[in-house]
Structure 1
């Protein structure tokens, strides 16, 4: 996924890794990726914005 890509609601856009488990995160809405706030290897917390979809 990259800025400018079109995504559909429900499409997996991010894979989080936690305790050696991979957890897919799906888009909450259809649209175009406006900004990606994280990159591979970043630590994230509950409530963090990972991707902006317009």
Structure 2
């Protein structure tokens, strides 16, 4: 999949910093971020599903 984005200079600098920190190119970094967010979201969802009180309080 190809994704085209426009970033302001602040976010371009942050992107470059993350690429250096994690030693990944932009494509690898985006995949890494998606995996991290997905894992975190799945853990939260699993936790809510395991606790009926949390689930009923959000209704």
TM-score, length of structure 1 as denominator length: 0.22
**Which structure's residues are more often helix, by fraction?**
2
Q: Looking at both structures, which has the greater relative contact order when contacts are Cα pairs under 8 Å and sequence separation is at least 6?
A: 1
**Which is richer in strand?**
1
- Report which of the two structures shows the higher radius of gyration computed on alpha carbons: 2
TM-score, length basis structure 2: 0.21
